[in-house]
Amino acid sequence: MLNRKEGQRTFQVHVHIEIPDGTDVSARLSFGAGTLNYKGAHDEDASDDLVYKFRVEHLPPILLTCLLPSSYPSHQPPFFTLSTEWLDKVMLSSLCHMLDMIWEEQLGMEVVYQWVQWLQSSSLSYLGFDNEIVLSKGDLTCVEDGGDNRACPDDAPPDLTIPRIIRYNDDKRHEAFLHGIHDCMICFSELPGVDFIKLPCHHFFCQKCMQTYCKMHVKEGTVVKLLCPDTKCEGVVPPNILKRLLGEDEFERWEGLLLQRTLDAMADVVYCPRCQTACLEDVGDEAVCSSCLFSFCTLCRERRHVGVECLSPEEKLIILEV
């Protein structure tokens, strides 16, 4: 984004950090006074805190905002600020200092490209994050102690920051998957990611194979076997994916079959002998149909007979065992 204001050019660069093999991200959290907060890694009372760790391949970008003075690059460097949601004031101030040093090494030359290149490839190692990124809010008094006013961290609490980082990583991974080429483990075809169905268990298969697979189980009534096609996985195929793969009539059939399977597995569900509506059995082997209001004995399936013995104990035992 490039604007002109009173003869000066302003622009923003979203700097995406390079972590091709992924990296761990951790945060030491405290639960004081009912709130969730970051704590410094060297706090004396940190032993009782929770260390939350997760792995990412993509980090939210560092935002470099620049204003180019009229004397740039011959006499002055760009005026700039740095901001991001995963670095604190101290770390951003350190990066600002490094950008100043890069300018000083090549006075009078264009420097923005070198700044972006260095932030992309070297900022993590410069901050000591070679193997793991430690989230920290740092020292909030760092401005008074020499912190850089050009460092503009996001002071959101960890219960907001951590989900944002995870969501950004998931979105970028999904985007990369859609643009990549993958093999379907059912038909062994090589297809772009947009032609695949990705299940919650992270296994994925081409849409054509998944559609055939799901339609087959619905047609045969084997809905309890409608799981991830990977033989070593028992992950379910969720309804939102089934709705995409099945026609309207097939999806309704799947819902009906699943409901029937659920009712059959419930010990206190019986069916009305008149209209076959599922009913809940009351105490005393009796039930009332919610559809036709027929009150019946759940053992002999005849009209309820209060005070009259229905079956002998031996006959009742035979029926219960069936």
Q: Give the residue with greater pLDDT, 298 vs 215.
A: 215
pLDDT of residue 47 exceeding 60, the answer is: no
Domain membership flag for residue 131: yes
SS3 content of the chain, % helix, strand, coil (to 5): 35, 25, 40
In this predicted model, what pLDDT tens digit does every residue of 74-116 receive, in sequence order? 999 999 999 998 999 999 999 999 999 999 998 889 999 999 9
Q: Which of 295, 254, 252, 242 is nearest to 273 (CA)?
A: 295
* Structural contact between residues 108 and 74, judged by C-beta atoms closer than 8 angstroms: yes
Q: Give yes or no: residues 149 and 90 share one domain.
A: yes
Q: Give yes or no: residues 253 and 286 share one domain.
A: no
Question: What pLDDT band is residue 43 in, cutting at 50, 70 and 90?
Answer: very low
Q: Give yes or no: residues 149 and 211 share one domain.
A: no
Question: What pLDDT band is residue 182 in, cutting at 50, 70 and 90?
Answer: very high
What domain range includes position 92? 2-167
Angle 314-319-322 from CA coordinates, rounded to 5°: 130
The pLDDT assigned to 301 comes to 77
Tokens 């020499």 found at: 146
User: How confident is the model over 254-263, as a mean pLDDT?
Assistant: 82
Give the CATH number of the domain where residue 217 resides: 3.30.40.10
Give the CATH number of the domain where residue 19 resides: 3.10.110
Question: What pLDDT band is residue 322 in, cutting at 50, 70 and 90?
Answer: low
pTM: predicted TM-score of the whole model, two decimal places: 0.68
Q: Give yes or no: residues 141 and 281 share one domain.
A: no
Residues with Cβ within 8 Å of residue 56, at least 6 apart in sequence? 19, 22, 23, 25, 165, 166, 169
- Stated as kind and residue range, the H or E segment containing 201 is none
Q: Give yes or no: residues 98 and 124 share one domain.
A: yes
Phi, psi at 305, each rounded to 5°:
-125, 85
Domain membership flag for residue 43: yes
Q: What is the count of structural domains for the chain?
A: 3
Domain membership flag for residue 149: yes
In this predicted model, what pLDDT tens digit does every residue of 217-246 receive, in sequence order? 999 988 888 899 998 998 989 999 999 999
* Structural contact between residues 180 and 222, judged by C-beta atoms closer than 8 angstroms: no
